[in-house]
Amino acid sequence: MNPSISIGNYLIEKLLECGVRHAFGVPGDFVLGFDKLLEESAIEFINTCDEQGAGFAADAYARLRGLGVVCITYCVGGLKVTNTTAQAFAEKSPVVVISGAPGKNERIRNPLLHHKVREFDTQYKVFQELTIASTVLDNPNIAFQEIDRVIAAALKYKRPVYIELPRDMVFVTGNPNYQAVKQPEASNAEVLNEALNEAVTLINHARQPVILAGVEMNRFGLQEELLQLVEKTNMPIAQTLLGKSVISELHPNYIGLYQGAMGQEYTREYVESSDCLIMLGTFLSDINLGIFTADLNPKHSIYVTSEKTSIRWHNYEEIRLQDFVRGLLAADIRRRESIATNPLKIPANFSPITGQQITIDRLFGRLNSFIDKNTIAIADVGDALFAGLELFIHDKSRFVSPAYYASVGFAVPASIGAQFANPNLRPLVLVGDGAFQMTGIELSTVVRYGLNPIVIVLNNKGYATERPMRDGAFNDILNWRYSRVTELLGAGLGFEVNTEDELEAALMQSQAHCESFCILDVHLDPQDTSPALKRLSSALGERIGSQ
Amino acid sequence: MNPSISIGNYLIEKLLECGVRHAFGVPGDFVLGFDKLLEESAIEFINTCDEQGAGFAADAYARLRGLGVVCITYCVGGLKVTNTTAQAFAEKSPVVVISGAPGKNERIRNPLLHHKVREFDTQYKVFQELTIASTVLDNPNIAFQEIDRVIAAALKYKRPVYIELPRDMVFVTGNPNYQAVKQPEASNAEVLNEALNEAVTLINHARQPVILAGVEMNRFGLQEELLQLVEKTNMPIAQTLLGKSVISELHPNYIGLYQGAMGQEYTREYVESSDCLIMLGTFLSDINLGIFTADLNPKHSIYVTSEKTSIRWHNYEEIRLQDFVRGLLAADIRRRESIATNPLKIPANFSPITGQQITIDRLFGRLNSFIDKNTIAIADVGDALFAGLELFIHDKSRFVSPAYYASVGFAVPASIGAQFANPNLRPLVLVGDGAFQMTGIELSTVVRYGLNPIVIVLNNKGYATERPMRDGAFNDILNWRYSRVTELLGAGLGFEVNTEDELEAALMQSQAHCESFCILDVHLDPQDTSPALKRLSSALGERIGSQ
């Protein structure tokens, strides 16, 4: 990289080096200079309707590409992506938040400049709470170094970072003598060796070892190694909710999603009765563990994430997840002969019943035969997610959902990020009516950039996830005519779906219509919820009810 | 107030005591218990589509009623209103942010509960940066006291505050022995006396005194006193942009909006040549001062706000704005005989020219005769605001706009808050196409609650405010068919407006159609901007261009 370049251009070069080809955002006067630089670069700037949409799109992009960028103006833009950044933090998605800001020279004597909240560093302070590293590029001597430091942190910890770029620094040249120093990262070899030896011994002596893979396998790019480990050892593998589609769910060794009492009984039984549970990159969050109904005995566990390594009751320091996984793959683990098989199979030959009112169960039954290797399912929070768990995902990283932080309104804008991240995939967006009302209008961005998701609106007339917990008028929403959003946007294909045959026809037409988005307004009985949601609501309801 | 009540009910009682009758928000599991309490109370809970809409609605409500409430769930809700809270902070709008949160008992051992970002207090820390007071109600012994303290701060400083309510504390009884203590607030009498004497002497000796009134006259409920002061002394009065409609703009003593080089020449000349400028509650922000083109000599100034009192070059401490204004009103200020008169008058008898392409100038010319005493104009950021300055507002507090912090997307949701705050008013929403794409879909909330704003979409195909500064594809947006949002929502009346006669017909029909919203998609030439915007863009453009 040529160091005699401006701070703005160095930042762009760095992002390109990391594989970024798109940045999502909304322009504003404090960031216009940088937006213009982006426009002239190999990174395409994607305008969303609102900054929230850009934040979710960048998050999805990061989950699929390893790094995402949201680029917004000061405060009125930046403070609109605090929630999306928080989600990226909680779910380990490496998003670079780039915020334009008042120039250094404009800050002298602390005037009341527009978009200012309290002090000039208010936004910076807020993002310090929500990111793993942050910087204000107000010193040309160290700007390049700061960019490298902050982006390295995003890549190392898979968490969002914050870069504030005062508008009078964009075109300023940085330190021409700066030389990037790559910090080699590695585990402590002796510690790693001892941990691996212990793990291998436990696995080889176990009667029923099972891998429980989590979302960090995706974040740290370890899915190929994981697959090889499974195929080499022939061990069965389960996934967690947040880690869904870490491997193909059609793989013969796959035994289902483990989520305590919320999940399938077969998977629960198998995992909980294991005498050697190998948890790799697994978050132990409440929803992931079926609202703490999971029963995983540490006595039989090998638990390795980017943050912690434990075997049985003791911990190891200085072990990197990727080194441990690669170490396991290289180790002498004995191959199992016959393995467990998940009795769950994709329902074959779905036959629609003409005139039959569609149910959520039948809808997802049908979607299971609709999706293929080129589908990426993107599930919003609510029953879209819980019913979505029933889908058999054909390939790794083909299911995206904010299953831990659970911010409603993620799916439609996320589909934008996902399709830019991998244009070979067609998004299948699963979204509740409440969630669609938050951010569904980002279909405008879909139209503007010629994307083509198929959007399934689960229209159950309100916040169905909440009704079983505590119901009231606050859970009702206006019943939009969702399929007519095409009228407003002047593009897309809309369908009203009440019956199984209408669903069939709409899906067939959507499959054939690739030039723009399709939206299916699927009318469901408000009481009709997925089995997983029924179990979750009951668990959450008890929690609230007792208080 | 009966102190033997639950913390949730005490909070509701306190809000009722302050005149709050509506709370805006989106439900979520951590706040459902409190939502239910609200539903059972005299405060109506208004669901918006997205939390951002609720935040803006509460802000507008606070500007008109003296206190507003936004009620949301933990993090996925709360972090969506950071930007709207920041705006309320910057523009002094007393909004109470009430956030549900994980129960105290759920926080033990710091589990990975859904919606959690980093630590349980992450959201609290963020809001400490954006509010004037904040609390977590996790101690029943001091909960009532804390509620009183925080709400008192909102009322005193006219800034937002943050109240976090763990869900297991909603129904817990507070301290039954608690007795609220009213802290009497007053100026230091001697200081006030000296300052008033000096001010009165200056005013009485001045050749050309003029009042420049700012937004704090509204926030501190001093509009009636201000009007009396003007009428008693017969002094001319100008307003600032953020203070627009502090008094009726039809008042004979009103001489226009002062905004440096951005404003009308007559007003500028008169204010800047004054030998006694009485600035009351005026923010000296950049846009308010015409991007620092104002030329106000402190040598001739009396400057009093809630934060600072200065006369000429010296400052006074311990003076409350309201005491100073009331003191002026009571003082012996000599009455002026003949006063300046603003040559600007409402253009009379607007005659539409059939087939004539509508321009922004003619549009606002027509709107000037359309609005009346029952209209509240709500202007979004952009040319909606700058052209909106040309409107002659008929009564005090009939123009609302975020003219300092300038967060785009304010107007449609703000109209919801405004109409709940005062159901006798019909909102006239002035909104750019870019702004409408951010939050315009909150018309869904308008439909749900039977409100009836008239929405004027200034459709100039993009971010027109930014084009003169630095143009690029990032300033383009998809050209929605705005008038067909009625198709999506199943309600409202939409109009396409290209010509003056179409405008005329649409306005007439909108006036007659009071049962739901009306939306006018006014097609403007993308180059056609208001004179004020041309002056502003040029000022901002120079600032960017030089960097």
Tell me, yes or no, whether A354 lies in a domain. Answer: no
* Longest Cα–Cα distance in chain B: 75
Cα–Cα nearest to A240, from A220, A267, A266, A208: A267
A27: Cα separation from own chain's centroid: 25
**Distance (Å) from the alpha carbon of A10 to chain B's nearest alpha carbon:** 17
Tell me, yes or no, whether A269 lies in a domain. Answer: yes
Tell me, yes or no, whether A263 lies in a domain. Answer: yes
Subunit contact B76:A407, Cβ cutoff 8 A: yes
- pLDDT tens, position by position, A188-200: 999 999 999 999 9
- Calculate what percentage of chain B has a pLDDT beyond 70: 96
Q: What is the DSSP string of A151-200?
A: HHHHHHHT--EEEEEETTTTTSB--TT-----------HHHHHHHHHHHH
Residue A369 and residue A417 in one domain: yes
Query: What pLDDT does residue B2 have?
Result: 55
Band of residue A547 on the pLDDT scale cut at 50, 70, 90: very low
In chain A, whose CA is at the least distance from the CA of B79?
A83
Total count of domains within chain B: 3
The whole-angstrom separation of Cα A67 and Cα A87 is 15
**Distance (Å) from the alpha carbon of A225 to chain B's nearest alpha carbon:** 27
Cα–Cα nearest to A371, from A355, A353, A347: A347
Measure CB to CB from residue A547 to each of B167, B466, B543 and give the nearest one: B167
The whole-angstrom separation of Cα B37 and Cα A470 is 11
Subunit contact B476:A39, Cβ cutoff 8 A: no
The whole-angstrom separation of Cα A262 and Cα A264 is 7
Interface test with B, best of A29, A92, A533 (most B CBs within 10 A): A29
Does residue B183 carry a pLDDT above 80? no
Subunit contact A114:B287, Cβ cutoff 8 A: yes
Band of residue B442 on the pLDDT scale cut at 50, 70, 90: very high
Band of residue A291 on the pLDDT scale cut at 50, 70, 90: low
Provide the 10 A C-beta neighbour count for residue A111.
15
Query: What pLDDT does residue B25 have?
Result: 98
The whole-angstrom separation of Cα A246 and Cα B62 is 48
Does residue A34 carry a pLDDT above 80? yes
Band of residue A2 on the pLDDT scale cut at 50, 70, 90: low
Does residue A415 carry a pLDDT above 70? yes
Q: Strand pairing partners for A257?
A: A239
Q: Residue B404 corresponds to which tokens in the numbers above?
A: 């300092």
Band of residue A4 on the pLDDT scale cut at 50, 70, 90: confident
Tell me, yes or no, whether A1 lies in a domain. Answer: no
Cβ-Cβ contacts under 8 Å, B490 against chain A: 479-481
The whole-angstrom separation of Cα A385 and Cα A244 is 11
Q: Residue A41 corresponds to which tokens in the numbers above?
A: 């670069």
Percent of chain A that is helix, strand, coil (3-state, to 5): 40, 15, 45
In chain A, whose CA is at the least distance from the CA of B168?
A547
Is the separation of the CB atoms in B24 and B417 below 8 Å? yes
A80: Cα separation from own chain's centroid: 19
The whole-angstrom separation of Cα B260 and Cα B271 is 9
Does residue B289 carry a pLDDT above 60? yes
Which of B31-45, B113-127, B387-401 is the most confident on average? B31-45
Band of residue B545 on the pLDDT scale cut at 50, 70, 90: very low
**Distance (Å) from the alpha carbon of B538 to chain A's nearest alpha carbon:** 12
Is the separation of the CB atoms in A300 and A266 below 8 Å? no
- pLDDT tens, position by position, A76-111: 999 999 999 999 999 999 999 999 999 999 888 778
In chain A, whose CA is at the least distance from the CA of B450?
A478
Tell me, yes or no, whether B352 lies in a domain. Answer: no
Residue B325 and residue B370 in one domain: no
- pLDDT tens, position by position, A117-138: 888 999 999 999 999 999 999 9
DSSP state of A293: T
Domain containing residue A26: 7-166
Cα–Cα nearest to B152, from B352, B259, B18, B273: B18
Q: What is the dihedral of CA A546, B2, B8, B9, to 10 degrees?
A: 100
Query: What pLDDT does residue A144 have?
Result: 97
- Coil, strand or helix at B542: helix
The whole-angstrom separation of Cα B342 and Cα A294 is 75
CB contact residues (below 8 A), chain B span 396-415, against chain A: 404-409
Residue B161 and residue B127 in one domain: yes
**Distance (Å) from the alpha carbon of A448 to chain B's nearest alpha carbon:** 6
Cβ-Cβ contacts under 8 Å, A288 against chain B: 112
Q: What is the DSSP string of B436-501?
A: HHHHGGGHHHHHHTT---EEEEEE-SS-TTTTTTS-SGGG------GGGHHHHHT--EEEEE-BHH
Q: What is the DSSP string of B170-184?
A: TTSB--TT-------
Those residues with Cβ within 8 angstroms of residue B235's Cβ, 6 or more apart along the chain or in another chain = B203, B209, B210, B211, B229, B253, B278, B336, B339
Subunit contact A83:B79, Cβ cutoff 8 A: yes
- pLDDT tens, position by position, A51-83: 999 999 999 999 999 999 999 999 999 999 999
| Helix residue ranges per DSSP H, B98-142 | 122-128
**Distance (Å) from the alpha carbon of A543 to chain B's nearest alpha carbon:** 9
Residue A502 and residue A424 in one domain: yes
Query: What pLDDT does residue A546 have?
Result: 41
CB contact residues (below 8 A), chain A span 213-272, against chain B: none
Residue A56 and residue A123 in one domain: yes
Measure CB to CB from residue B472 to each of A35, A285, A472 and give the nearest one: A35
Cα–Cα nearest to B296, from B278, B308, B314: B278
CB contact residues (below 8 A), chain A span 38-57, against chain B: 39, 45, 47, 49-50, 52
Residue A208 and residue A319 in one domain: yes
Measure CB to CB from residue B83 to each of A29, A80, A405 and give the nearest one: A80
Interface test with A, best of B41, B93, B126 (most A CBs within 10 A): B126
Query: What pLDDT does residue B181 have?
Result: 83
Q: Domain with B199 in it: what CATH number?
A: 3.40.50.1220
- pLDDT tens, position by position, A469-509: 899 999 999 999 999 999 999 999 999 999 999 999 999 99
CA distances from A500 to A100, A368, A427, B211 (A): 50, 14, 22, 70
Better-predicted residue by pLDDT, A298 or A55: A55
Subunit contact A86:B117, Cβ cutoff 8 A: yes
Please report the beta strands in B229-367, taking only residues with DSSP state E, as ranges in sequence order.
Answer: 237-239, 254-257, 276-280, 301-304, 309-311, 314-316
Query: What pLDDT does residue B263 have?
Result: 81
Those residues with Cβ within 8 angstroms of residue B238's Cβ, 6 or more apart along the chain or in another chain = B210, B211, B212, B213, B254, B255, B256, B257, B258, B267, B270, B271
Query: What pLDDT does residue A350 have?
Result: 84
In chain A, whose CA is at the least distance from the CA of B90?
A117
**Distance (Å) from the alpha carbon of A482 to chain B's nearest alpha carbon:** 6
CA distances from A383 to A293, A433, A524, B31, B293 (A): 19, 10, 12, 19, 55
Tell me, yes or no, whether A217 lies in a domain. Answer: yes
Tell me, yes or no, whether A284 lies in a domain. Answer: yes
Q: What are phi and psi of B121, to 5 degrees?
A: -95, 15
Residue B162 and residue B198 in one domain: no
Domain end residue (candidates: A314, A330, A346): A330
Band of residue A116 on the pLDDT scale cut at 50, 70, 90: confident
Query: What pLDDT does residue B540 have?
Result: 61
DSSP state of A125: H
Residue B232 and residue B128 in one domain: no
A544 CB near a chain B CB, below 8 Å? Answer: yes
Average pLDDT, chain A: 93
Subunit contact B488:A477, Cβ cutoff 8 A: no
Q: Which residues of B are annotated as a binding site?
A: 433, 460, 462
The whole-angstrom separation of Cα B159 and Cα B86 is 9
Interface test with A, best of B45, B76, B285 (most A CBs within 10 A): B76
Range A410-435 average pLDDT? 98
DSSP state of A310: E
Average pLDDT, chain B: 93
CB contact residues (below 8 A), chain B span 445-484, against chain A: 445, 447-448, 463, 465-466, 469-470, 472-482, 484
Cβ-Cβ contacts under 8 Å, B89 against chain A: 117-118
Q: What is the DSSP string of A354-372?
A: TTPBP-HHHHHHHHHHH--
- pLDDT tens, position by position, B185-236: 899 999 999 999 999 999 999 999 999 999 999 999 999 999 999 999 999 9
Range A169-177 average pLDDT? 95
Q: Which residues of A are annotated as a binding site for Mg(2+)?
A: 433, 460, 462
Single-letter code of the amino acid located at A217: M
The whole-angstrom separation of Cα A115 and Cα A120 is 10
Strand A493-497's sheet: what is its strand order? A399-400, A375-379, A426-432, A454-459, A518-523, A493-497
Those residues with Cβ within 8 angstroms of residue A130's Cβ, 6 or more apart along the chain or in another chain = A82, A85, A86, A89, A160, A162, B117, B118, B122, B126
**Distance (Å) from the alpha carbon of B240 to chain A's nearest alpha carbon:** 14
Cβ-Cβ contacts under 8 Å, B170 against chain A: 547
Q: Residue A11 corresponds to which tokens in the numbers above?
A: 């930042």
CB contact residues (below 8 A), chain B span 166-185, against chain A: 167-168, 170-171
Provide the 10 A C-beta neighbour count for residue A105.
13
Residue B391 and residue B264 in one domain: no
CB contact residues (below 8 A), chain B span 56-75, against chain A: 75
**Distance (Å) from the alpha carbon of B199 to chain A's nearest alpha carbon:** 26
Q: Residue B35 corresponds to which tokens in the numbers above?
A: 């939502």
The whole-angstrom separation of Cα A530 and Cα A523 is 14
Subunit contact A474:B27, Cβ cutoff 8 A: yes
Measure CB to CB from residue B82 to each of A79, A103, A409 and give the nearest one: A79
Residue B473 and residue B384 in one domain: yes
**Distance (Å) from the alpha carbon of A442 to chain B's nearest alpha carbon:** 9
Subunit contact A90:B32, Cβ cutoff 8 A: no
Q: Residue A144 corresponds to which tokens in the numbers above?
A: 């390049």
Tell me, yes or no, whether A213 lies in a domain. Answer: yes
The whole-angstrom separation of Cα A396 and Cα A12 is 30
Handedness of CA A289, A293, A295, A298 (dihedral sign): positive
Query: What pLDDT does residue B184 have?
Result: 78
Domain end residue (candidates: B131, B166, B201): B166
Measure CB to CB from residue B470 to each of A36, A112, A481 and give the nearest one: A36
In chain B, whose CA is at the least distance from the CA of A45?
B474
The whole-angstrom separation of Cα B520 and Cα B363 is 12
Measure CB to CB from residue B404 to each of A114, A437, A544 and give the nearest one: A114
Cβ-Cβ contacts under 8 Å, A76 against chain B: 83, 87, 405-408
**Distance (Å) from the alpha carbon of B533 to chain A's nearest alpha carbon:** 14
Helix axes A143-157, A7-17, angle to 10 degrees: 30
Residue B209 and residue B268 in one domain: yes
Residue B156 and residue B203 in one domain: no
Range A430-445 average pLDDT? 98
- Coil, strand or helix at B522: strand
- pLDDT tens, position by position, B405-429: 999 999 999 999 999 999 999 999 9
Q: Domain with A430 in it: what CATH number?
A: 3.40.50.970
Subunit contact B470:A50, Cβ cutoff 8 A: no
Cβ-Cβ contacts under 8 Å, A487 against chain B: 481, 484, 487-488
- pLDDT tens, position by position, B11-28: 999 999 999 999 999 999
